[in-house]
Amino acid sequence: MSSAVNRGRSCATDAYTALLQAEDPEQKERQQALQQVVQQALAQQRRGQAQQLRADVVVTIPVVFHVVYNSEAENVSEAALLSQLQVLNDDFRRLNADTATTPEYFRPYAADTKIQFCLASIDPNGDLTNGITRTQTTNKSFSYGSDNVKYAEKGGVDIWDRDQYLNIWICNLGGDIQSNILGYAAPPGSRAVNDGVVLHYSSVGAPPANNFKWNYNMGRTATHEVGHWLGLGHIWGNGSSCTDSDGIDDTPNQRYESAGCHSGIKTSCNDSPFGDMYQNYMDYSDDACMNLFTKGQADYMNTILATSRASILNSLACTGSLRSDFETASPNDTLIIAGNSIIYADASAGLRPTEWYWEFEGGVPSVSTERNPTIMYPRPGKYSVKLSISNGSLSSTEEKEDFVHVTVSDLVVYPNPATDFLTIEQPARIKVLRVELVNKFGQVVIDEETRDRVLRLDVRDLSQGLYILRIKSSNGTEVKRISVLR
């Protein structure tokens, strides 16, 4: 018998995902919905109807390492973390030293994924960081079942905004290590509080920075788990059968996981002549015996980055710069009645600004140096808003044309006359409850209840003529004359 730690890798991502789905009924729906989007995008690419989503652009994902340690041995060195980042970059860009170990017959499938990683230099508060947090904990160990490592109140560290960072927690997965669980990842579609990768501390980085003497000391656990975080499944699918699949076309159908270090051709599901691709990062081979992602896997991960994880590609976390942006304090509060006010919210990214200079066309006051000013609009019209920010040395400006729409009435109805659709839009603070369209004989031809701010009525089946639109809202009942043209 081999020793416990060397009897084969294990990863808890499937079990963890099942747990997330059991705890949160919407987790599965979110995963299925985005799966649909990804499959549509991939199908479009295959049919050549859309430009390849990421084409030849190299994309960069900012990373933060959260080291959570009880003993000093668990306090992974900076050298090991930098080594881990290097392994991720080498493996994802196919710059790994062991590409020669990929058998000749699998080399045509091997991919440079065009995905790379950088260590964050700006933290979520806009302050400078080295991309590493270190937290001493009283917890002797962590497990995927509790997921405690992601919560400060449970002895871990809270996540940094997952739209800007790939969070990688490093800890003692002691509760799991008996079953050789080296890591786990939250798949795309997970909630914002737990969306990242967890690694066992002794799997981090490659020798000499990783000096643990076992089969998982080359940093490939992170490569595997980040593959999961970007939507990849295990290469053998979910169960030990040949009827399930990892959903990737160019990975051979494989019955179950590989273990240790194979050589030569090993077949399982009529996948001759080349057999199982046990060299794939999404299998369970030893670190030294895995060395490729396929082009299909690369396309899949890039499609995730073009869809559900797209926001991370706009992150400034590694750039040392800042970017002006703003919104309204209440969502969609840009349509108001004359005489009302809007509260603005600074939504700048990157380094923290120290100065704000707002310009409000049509607003009172027309300029402000507050961070989140309140502005009144006395007259109807469409007005632009401009925000310039600065931190003393760097500055950035964002202007949004026609950002604010100030009306005399509490409702906007257009177009009038209408031919196909009639749009009814009301300020965010007014709630439309019911809309009726009445013809010249007094008959109600359209009757709709609504809770949306914008309502679109289909008038294509109505005959030409004058109609009365009766709108009941939290502001009372309003009547408008509408003509339909044929």
Using CB under 5 A, list all residues that contact Zn ion. Answer: 11, 13
Instruction: List the strands of the sheet with 355-360, edge to edge.
Output: 335-337, 395-407, 381-390, 355-360, 367-368
Spatial distance between the Cα atoms of 60 and 166, rounded to a whole number of angstroms: 11
Compare residues 11 and 418 and give the one whose CB is closer to Zn ion: 11
Spatial distance between the Cα atoms of 146 and 169, rounded to a whole number of angstroms: 14
Spatial distance between the Cα atoms of 93 and 113, rounded to a whole number of angstroms: 6
Of residues 225, 359, 398, 478, which has the active-site annotation? 225
Q: How far is the CB of 82 from Zn ion (least distance, A)?
A: 24
Burial of 84 (0-12, 13-18, 19+ CB in 10 A): buried
Spatial distance between the Cα atoms of 224 and 287, rounded to a whole number of angstroms: 10
Q: How far is the CB of 25 from Zn ion (least distance, A)?
A: 24
Backbone angles phi, psi at 82, to 5 degrees: -65, -40
Burial of 443 (0-12, 13-18, 19+ CB in 10 A): exposed
Q: Are strands 166-171 and 115-119 parallel, antiparallel or unpaired?
A: unpaired
Compare residues 121 and 190 and give the one whose CB is closer to Zn ion: 190
Compare residues 7 and 400 and give the one whose CB is closer to Zn ion: 7
Q: How far is the CB of 291 from Zn ion (least distance, A)?
A: 16
Q: How far is the CB of 213 from Zn ion (least distance, A)?
A: 23
HSE-up of 131 (CA within 13 Å, CB side)? Answer: 23
Compare residues 13 and 280 and give the one whose CB is closer to Zn ion: 13
Q: How far is the CB of 411 from Zn ion (least distance, A)?
A: 54
Compare residues 11 and 226 and give the one whose CB is closer to Zn ion: 11
Q: Is 361 a catalytic residue?
A: no
Element (H, E) at 22: helix 13-23
Q: Which residues are catalytic?
A: 225
